[in-house]
Structures are given as structure tokens and as C-alpha cells.
Amino acid sequence: MESGLAWWWAGLSATLVYGGSFEFLLIGMVTTLAPLASIVMTAFMVNVDFVLTALFTVLALAAILVTAAVTWALRAVPFAARAPLRASATVQYLSTRMPAGVMVIQVVSCLHDLPGPHVRVLAPSPPRPSPSHCTCGAATRC
């Protein structure tokens, strides 16, 4: 009412304008007789964050749903594939041979760093390149 507008402007702007801060801008723009294009553009710029917030909410919900679906699928696939794999001859072979092979690899890996000539026979170090085959360009060994 201090701006010189009729009393019904307050109710009209509260009903039609959804961005709270734009109500204050609108009163100032109407009292200065701003062009309609300026009012519309200002309304868009003030309220565009609501559009982005709504869009982000939809995208965030979609990302959560996709993540949940992928997680569920990855946890369900082993149970779904369990019956056919039990009948597989390859899986039967690997189940008897693989544990011993893994243990051998772990023992050799652990013994590799121990000092002593006997250990080096079990787990030899990789060959070092000679100075003539050195790729770094240094005069000393790599």
C-alpha cells in the first residue's frame, strides 16, 4: 500500500506469483511501469532455480532407482546362475584344482622376499636388463 497500488495487488501477487522474492520485485516493476517483457524475463530468472531443483530431484531419484536396480541385479545373478554352474564340468574341475593352485601362488609370493639361495630357486627374481639394453638412458644399471 505504501507503493501506491490498490489493496488487491497484495492478494493477486500472492496468488499468482510462486517465487516469494519475485513478489517484491513485481511491485517495484509495476510501480515504475516496466515493460511486460522485462517483467516476464525477471520472473523467469528469479524462478529458474525452482525448475532446476525439480529437474535435479527427478534426476536424483532416477539415479537412485537405477543404482538400486543394478545393485539388486548384481546380488541376484549369482543365485540365479548357481544351479547351472553346479552342473558344469569346468566348474567341477576348477573346484578341485584351484584351491591348491592359489595356495602355491600365495606361498611363493610370500617366500619371494626372504633372503637365502633356496628361496630364490622357488621364486626367482625377474631378470634385470643389462646396461646395453637399458631403456632409461642412464650409464648405470636400471
Provide the pLDDT for residue 1.
Answer: 46
- Summarize the confidence of residues 111-123 as an average pLDDT: 63
- Summarize the confidence of residues 23-42 as an average pLDDT: 82
Q: Which of 87, 112, 135 is the last residue of a domain?
A: 87
**Higher-pLDDT residue of 89, 24:** 89
Residue 140 lies in a domain: no
- Summarize the confidence of residues 92-117 as an average pLDDT: 78
In this prediction, residue 49 has a pLDDT band, given cuts at 50, 70 and 90, of confident
Residue 132 lies in a domain: no
Convert the chain into a string of H (helix), E (strand) and C (coil): CCCCCCCHHHHHHHHHCCCHHHHHHHHHHHHCCCCHHHHHHHHHHHHHHHHHHHHHHHHHHHHHHHHHHHHHHHHHHHHHHHHHHHCCHHHHHHHHHHHHHHHHHHHHHHHCCCCCHHHHHHCCCCCCCCHHHCCCCCCCCC
- Summarize the confidence of residues 99-119 as an average pLDDT: 75
Same domain? For 93 and 79 the reply is no
Give me the domain span that covers residue 37.
1-87
Residues written for the chain: 142
Give the total number of structural domains in the chain.
Answer: 2
Same domain? For 60 and 93 the reply is no
Q: Which of 87, 110, 136 is the last residue of a domain?
A: 87
